[in-house]
């Protein structure tokens, strides 16, 4: 079970985040102001930290982040902010944040991103082949096979599928997919991403094979390797 | 009428200041003229005195008395008396003048003769070789009268000028007070909420008129913005009421009818969807105002418009394909099109245009994104063969929540083009909507940094 520290001053938002993470199977510790957050973040052993950008108590989100990184605490941090401006985001990531989420957000978006951060912690492995069930991706040649059959994917489809395979078994939201592959911020991306995924699905979930790409009601997908 | 207020007006004070300045200048001028004239007249009479003295001196001694006697008989000589005295100041011959109280010899001087009447003279005394004293004098009456006349005229002119000037200053002050009263009346009516009021402007086109015209322009703009804000508020209220009513209806229906967990969960699902839609609309509104605030300008970097257009086209291609619309990118040349901007926002603008093109083009249609170099910068043009925008709607579609008649049935919140317009303004881009006979053509021209 992953242990998550949530540093958020707004009680309502904090309890929503806590509920979402607990439902997702995480253990949650709360901190309601900057000072408390910093103390807990440094002393505790967390798998990830959800950090509000604006905090009372002298130290704000970026302050905590800077202090943490200065103290060589490398716990992955997801920054929450009401500010969506690009330079805000850049500042957050520069200060050592690993991901940035703008309020308001859906709980699925939060848990999916926390998941990615927690898994990433297990360290990047230098590999040349990604496998998920009978799906195989060669990272050097960019060739993709399912059950031995070569799949003909367009470059963007390859990038989307690679991301899903890297996070197989985890929920990836449409926004995450879009940001990963296109590197822009665009709120209206969701419906169009669905079309991309349905094209990939046609190529991956060939007739006669067990479907791997599962749509989650709401806003995400799971690549299910056990299928 | 408030007479004291007139005194406080700038125009009155200005007029008064000029009056004083002019008065001082005139006084100086008068003093100078007076002094010069006095000097000139004195010199002239002194010269005359010297000349006469010389001509009498040249006469033989015995003829002097005779000459004076003859001259004394001429009544015209009273103004210019000649008189001969003995060494003790007793008159021997000539006009009847008293021996001066303050005799000075051989240099002109002023003296007063008291008998029979008080007369001022300028005179010259000379001692003759035989011991007699010769006096030649000139009455100063004429000179004094002349100066008096001049002084009186000047005084009268000064008083008249001062009066006229004061009256004029008062009139000007009154005029400007009336203008200011009219302006402040109009302004207070505007402050009380009547935004249709305008400041009065005269025909003269003076400085106050120019100022009033500028303020009126500002008021036009404020009125327009107020209308827009009001329109936006009304639209928000309207656009929020519709989904909220649906939400309310479906929840009420669930309370009435739902009996199983599945039925409840179905209505929760529907409610969530409605709320997500509402949140999306709010987020879009906030994004527009965030973009309009210009805060994001700090996130500007140099970017290649072509890369962004390619990304946008390949992002939308499957969606276009699915709807049976061909989406193509046409690049005018092979050079990168570098401009300064926020990549995500430019992507969003282009994406919104492409999204609209796909949404409003029927199956079998075509959408084209063109990138070209233009004299004003980089031109991004999105054309389609869809339902088009009516020329009379071309401006309105940029307004928040505005949805043209033909587009009402399509999904959307009426904010897409408002956002494009806000992004265009942030980047200094020119947004142009063309309304060809069939289809739509919207272009963005991004100024390129001069290098």
State chain B's mean pLDDT as an integer: 86
For residue A111, what pLDDT is reported? 92
Residue B394 belongs to some domain of the structure: yes
For residue B199, what pLDDT is reported? 85
For residues B111 and B144, membership in a common domain is answered with yes
Give, rounded to a whole angstrom, the gap between the first and last alpha carbons of chain A: 23
Query: What's the CATH class of domain A3-122?
Result: alpha beta
Residue B406 belongs to some domain of the structure: yes
For residue A157, what pLDDT is reported? 93
For residue B306, what pLDDT is reported? 94
For residues B226 and B336, membership in a common domain is answered with no
Interface contacts (A, B; CB < 8 Å)? 56
Name the least confident of A184-188, B37-41, B106-110: A184-188
- Under 8 Å between Cβ of B138 and B48: yes
The tokens for B4 are 């004291």
Contacts of A187 in chain B (CB under 8 A): 280, 283-284, 287
Say yes or no for a CB contact (<8 Å) between B299 and A199: no
Say yes or no for a CB contact (<8 Å) between A84 and B355: no
Residue B451 belongs to some domain of the structure: no
For residues B410 and B429, membership in a common domain is answered with yes
- How much is the pTM? 0.66
For residues B436 and B419, membership in a common domain is answered with yes
Task: Identify the sign of the CA torsion B157, B163, B167, B172.
Answer: positive
User: Predicted ipTM?
Assistant: 0.84
Cis-peptide, bond into residue B184, ω within 30° of zero: no
Q: How far is CA B102 from CA A226, B125, B131, B408, in A?
A: 143, 11, 19, 118
Say yes or no for a CB contact (<8 Å) between B347 and A189: no
For residue B310, what pLDDT is reported? 94
Q: How far is A23 from chain B (nearest CA, A)?
A: 17
Cis-peptide, bond into residue B191, ω within 30° of zero: no
For residue B118, what pLDDT is reported? 84
Strand A3-7 to A48-52 pairing: parallel
Q: How far is A176 from chain B (nearest CA, A)?
A: 15
- Under 8 Å between Cβ of B214 and B220: no
Nearest residue to B27 via CA among B210, B131, B162:
B162
For residue A92, what pLDDT is reported? 82
What mean pLDDT comes out for the span B141-155?
87
- Given a cut of 70, whether residue B1 has pLDDT beyond it is no
Across the strands, what pairs with A5? A29, A49
Q: How far is CA B18 from CA B23, B167, B437, in A?
A: 8, 13, 68
Say yes or no for a CB contact (<8 Å) between B315 and A84: no
For residue B355, what pLDDT is reported? 93
The pLDDT tens digits along chain A (227 residues) read 889 999 999 899 999 999 999 999 999 999 988 888 999 998 878 999 999 988 887 788 888 999 999 988 889 999 998 766 666 777 888 888 999 888 878 888 899 999 989 887 665 567 788 888 889 999 999 999 998 899 999 999 999 999 999 888 888 999 899 999 998 888 776 789 999 999 999 999 988 888 999 998 767 899 987 75
- Given a cut of 70, whether residue B295 has pLDDT beyond it is no
> In sequence order, what are the residues at sequence separation of 6 or more whose Cβ sits closer than 8 angstroms to the Cβ of residue B408?
none
- Under 8 Å between Cβ of B320 and B367: yes
Pick among A85, A94, A154, A156 to test the B interface (most B CBs inside 10 A): A85
- What is the residue whose two structure tokens read 């409605």? B274
For residues B51 and B122, membership in a common domain is answered with yes
Share of chain B above pLDDT 70, in %: 97
Tell me: the pLDDT tens digits for B387-431? Answer: 888 888 888 888 777 777 777 777 777 888 999 999 999 898 999
B352 in A contact zone (CB under 8 Å): yes
Burial class (CB in 10 A: 0-12, 13-18, 19+), B412: middle
For residue A90, what pLDDT is reported? 78
B283 in A contact zone (CB under 8 Å): yes
Say yes or no for a CB contact (<8 Å) between A186 and B318: no
B355 in A contact zone (CB under 8 Å): yes
Three-state SS sequence of chain B: CCHHHHHHCHHHHHHHHHHHHHHHHHHHHHHHHHHHHHHHHHHHHHHHHHHHHHHHHCCCHHHHHHHHHHHHHCHHHHCCCEEEECCCCCEEEECCCCCCCCCCECCCEEEEECCCCCEEEEEEEEECCCCCEEEEEEECHHHHHHHHHHHHHHHHHHHHHHHHHHHHHHHHHHHHHHHHHHHHHHHHHHHCCCCCCCCCCCCCCCHHHHHHHHHHHHHHHHHHHHHHHHHHHHHHHHHHHHHHHHHHHHHHHHHHHCCCHHHHHHHHHHHHHHHHHHHHHHHHHHHHHHHHHCHHHHHCEEEEHHHHHHHHHHHHHHHHHHCCCEEEEEECCCCCCEEEECHHHHHHHHHHHHHHHHHCCCCCCEEEEEEEEECCEEEEEEEECCCCCCHHHCCHHHCCCCCCHHHCCCCCCCCHHHHHHHHHHHCCCEEEEECCCCCEEEEEEECCCCC
Say yes or no for a CB contact (<8 Å) between A182 and B347: yes
- How many Cβ atoms are within 10 Å of A182's Cβ, its own excluded? 22
* Residue in A with minimal Cα distance to B348: A186
Q: How far apart are CA B11 and CA B7, in angstroms?
A: 9
Residue B350 belongs to some domain of the structure: yes
Say yes or no for a CB contact (<8 Å) between A195 and B348: no
Residue B202 belongs to some domain of the structure: no
Q: How far is B247 from chain A (nearest CA, A)?
A: 18
- Under 8 Å between Cβ of B387 and B360: yes
What mean pLDDT comes out for the span B51-63?
83
The tokens for B316 are 């939308």
Residues from A contacting B (CB-CB < 8 Å) are 84-87, 90, 104, 106, 156, 182, 184-189, 191-192, 195-196, 199, 217
Domain that holds residue B268: 207-292
Say yes or no for a CB contact (<8 Å) between A195 and B269: no
B250 compared with B72, residue with greater pLDDT = B250
Q: Is B8 helix (H, G, I), strand (E, B) or coil?
A: helix
Instruction: Give me the residues of B, 290-329, that contact A with CB < 8 A.
Output: 290, 295-296, 298-299, 308, 311, 314-316, 318-319, 322
Q: How far apart are CA A193 and CA B71, in angstroms?
A: 134
> In sequence order, what are the residues at sequence separation of 6 or more whose Cβ sits closer than 8 angstroms to the Cβ of residue B95?
B68, B71, B72, B77, B78, B81, B82, B83
* Backbone torsion region of residue B110, taken as left when φ is above 0, otherwise alpha when ψ lies between -120 and 50, otherwise beta: beta
> In sequence order, what are the residues at sequence separation of 6 or more whose Cβ sits closer than 8 angstroms to the Cβ of residue B103?
B125, B133
For residues B212 and B179, membership in a common domain is answered with no
What mean pLDDT comes out for the span B243-249?
88
What mean pLDDT comes out for the span B55-64?
82
Pick among A16, A81, A82, A86 to test the B interface (most B CBs inside 10 A): A86
For residue B61, what pLDDT is reported? 75
Domain A129-223 has CATH 1.10.10.10: yes
B275 in A contact zone (CB under 8 Å): no
Say yes or no for a CB contact (<8 Å) between B344 and A189: no
For residues B339 and B216, membership in a common domain is answered with no
Q: How far apart are CA B301 and CA B345, in angstroms?
A: 12
Q: How far is A209 from chain B (nearest CA, A)?
A: 24
Across the strands, what pairs with A34? none
Across the interface, of A86, A195, A217, the residue whose CB is closest to B322 is: A195
Residue B383 belongs to some domain of the structure: yes
Across the interface, of A87, A187, A196, the residue whose CB is closest to B283 is: A187
Say yes or no for a CB contact (<8 Å) between A191 and B287: no
- Given a cut of 90, whether residue B205 has pLDDT beyond it is no
Phi and psi for B402 in degrees, rounded to 5? -70, 130
Please, which pLDDT band fits residue B2 given cuts at 50, 70 and 90? low
Name the least confident of B15-24, B161-170, B291-300: B291-300
Say yes or no for a CB contact (<8 Å) between A188 and B351: yes
Contacts of B315 in chain A (CB under 8 A): 156, 182, 189, 192
Across the interface, of B298, B315, B352, the residue whose CB is closest to A182 is: B315
DSSP class of residue B105 equals B
Q: Is A81 helix (H, G, I), strand (E, B) or coil?
A: strand
> In sequence order, what are the residues at sequence separation of 6 or more whose Cβ sits closer than 8 angstroms to the Cβ of residue B242?
none
The tokens for A168 are 């197989």
For residues B240 and B359, membership in a common domain is answered with no
Q: How far is CA B29 from CA A80, B23, B155, B431, in A?
A: 83, 10, 13, 68
Domain boundary among B127, B162, B194: B194
Residue B201 belongs to some domain of the structure: no
Contacts of B318 in chain A (CB under 8 A): 192, 195-196, 199
Q: Is A66 helix (H, G, I), strand (E, B) or coil?
A: helix
Across the interface, of A85, A187, A192, the residue whose CB is closest to B315 is: A192
Say yes or no for a CB contact (<8 Å) between B319 and A191: yes
Q: How far apart are CA B346 and CA B305, in angstroms?
A: 8
The tokens for B6 are 């007139």
Domain boundary among B292, B312, B335: B292
B43 compared with A92, residue with greater pLDDT = B43
- What is the residue whose two structure tokens read 């297990």? A122
- Under 8 Å between Cβ of A213 and A223: yes
Contacts of A191 in chain B (CB under 8 A): 319
Q: How far is CA A128 from CA A88, B223, B385, in A?
A: 35, 65, 46
CA dihedral B307, B310, B314, B316 (to 10 degrees): 110
Q: How far is B332 from chain A (nearest CA, A)?
A: 24
For residue A209, what pLDDT is reported? 86
Say yes or no for a CB contact (<8 Å) between A187 and B276: no
Domain count, chain B: 3
For residue A206, what pLDDT is reported? 87
For residue A218, what pLDDT is reported? 66
For residue B100, what pLDDT is reported? 85
For residue A45, what pLDDT is reported? 86
- Under 8 Å between Cβ of A2 and A26: yes
Give residue limits of the domains in chain A. Answer: 3-122, 129-223
Domain boundary among B132, B166, B194: B194
> In sequence order, what are the residues at sequence separation of 6 or more whose Cβ sits closer than 8 angstroms to the Cβ of residue B124?
B46, B49, B50, B53, B106, B107, B108, B109, B135, B136, B137
For residues B55 and B173, membership in a common domain is answered with yes
Q: How far apart are CA B223 and CA B112, in angstroms?
A: 85
Q: How far apart are CA A26 and CA A114, in angstroms?
A: 10
Q: How far is A195 from chain B (nearest CA, A)?
A: 6
């Amino acid at each position: 079970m992953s242990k998550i520290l949530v540093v958020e001053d707004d009680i309502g938002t904090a309890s929503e985040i806590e509920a979402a993470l607990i439902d997702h199977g995480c253990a949650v510790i709360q901190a309601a102001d900057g000072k408390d957050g910093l103390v807990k973040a440094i002393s505790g052993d967390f798998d990830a930290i959800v950090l509000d950008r604006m905090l009372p108590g002298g130290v704000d989100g970026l302050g905590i982040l800077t202090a943490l990184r200065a103290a060589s605490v490398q716990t992955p941090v997801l920054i929450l902010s009401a500010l969506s401006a690009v330079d805000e985001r850049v500042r957050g990531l520069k200060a050592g944040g690993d991901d940035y989420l703008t309020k308001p957000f859906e709980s699925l978006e939060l848990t999916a991103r926390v998941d990615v951060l927690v898994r990433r912690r297990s360290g990047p492995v230098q590999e040349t082949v990604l496998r998920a069930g009978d799906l195989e991706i060669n990272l050097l040649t960019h060739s993709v096979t399912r059950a031995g059959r070569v799949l003909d994917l367009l470059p963007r489809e390859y990038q989307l599928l690679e991301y899903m395979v890297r996070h197989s078994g985890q929920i990836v939201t449409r926004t995450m997919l879009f940001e990963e592959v296109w590197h822009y911020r665009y709120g209206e991306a969701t419906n169009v991403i669905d079309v991309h995924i349905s094209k990939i699905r046609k190529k991956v979930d060939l007739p006669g094979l067990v479907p791997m790409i599962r749509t989650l009601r709401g806003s995400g997908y799971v690549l299910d390797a056990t299928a | 009428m408030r007479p004291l207020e007139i005194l406080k007006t700038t125009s009155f004070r200005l007029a008064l200041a000029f009056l004083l300045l002019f008065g001082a200048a005139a006084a100086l001028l008068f003093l100078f003229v007076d002094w010069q004239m006095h000097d000139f007249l004195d010199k002239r009479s002194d010269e005359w005195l010297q000349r006469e003295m010389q001509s009498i001196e040249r006469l033989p001694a015995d003829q002097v008395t005779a000459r004076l006697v003859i001259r004394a008989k001429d009544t015209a000589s009273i103004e210019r008396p000649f008189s001969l005295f003995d060494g003790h100041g007793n008159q021997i011959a000539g006009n009847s003048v008293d021996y001066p109280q303050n005799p000075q010899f051989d240099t002109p001087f002023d003296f007063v003769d008291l008998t029979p009447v008080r007369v001022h003279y300028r005179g010259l005394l000379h001692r003759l070789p035989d011991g007699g004293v010769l006096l030649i004098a000139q009455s100063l009456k004429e000179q004094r009268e002349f100066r008096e006349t001049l002084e009186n005229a000047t005084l009268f002119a000064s008083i008249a000028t001062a009066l006229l000037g004061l009256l004029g200053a008062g009139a000007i002050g009154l005029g400007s007070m009336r203008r200011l009263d009219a302006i402040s009346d109009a302004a207070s009516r505007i402050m009380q909420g009547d935004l249709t009021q305008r400041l009065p402007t005269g025909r003269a086109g003076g400085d106050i008129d120019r100022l009033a015209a500028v303020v009126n322009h500002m008021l036009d703009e404020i009125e327009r913005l107020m209308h827009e804000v009001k329109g936006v508020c009304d639209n928000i209220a309207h656009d929020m009421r519709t989904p909220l009513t649906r939400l309310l209806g479906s929840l009420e229906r669930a309370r009435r009818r739902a009996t199983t967990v599945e039925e409840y969960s179905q209505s929760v699902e529907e409610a969530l969807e409605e709320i997500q839609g509402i949140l999306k609309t709010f987020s879009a509104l906030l994004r527009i105002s965030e973009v309009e605030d210009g805060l994001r300008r700090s996130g500007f970097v140099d970017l290649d418009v072509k890369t962004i257009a390619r990304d946008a086209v390949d992002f939308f291609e499957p969606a276009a394909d699915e709807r049976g619309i061909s989406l193509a990118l046409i690049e005018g040349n092979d050079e990168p099109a570098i401009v300064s901007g926020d990549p995500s926002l430019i992507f969003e603008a282009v994406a919104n245009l492409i999204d609209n093109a796909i949404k409003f083009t029927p199956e079998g249609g075509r959408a084209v994104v063109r990138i070209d170099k233009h004299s004003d910068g980089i031109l991004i043009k999105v054309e389609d063969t869809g339902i088009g925008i009516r020329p009379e709607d071309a401006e309105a579609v940029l307004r928040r929540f505005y949805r043209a008649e033909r587009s009402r049935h399509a999904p959307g919140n009426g904010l897409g083009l408002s956002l494009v317009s806000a992004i265009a303004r942030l980047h200094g881009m020119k947004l142009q909507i063309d309304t060809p006979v069939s289809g739509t053509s919207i272009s963005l021209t991004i100024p390129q940094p001069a290098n």
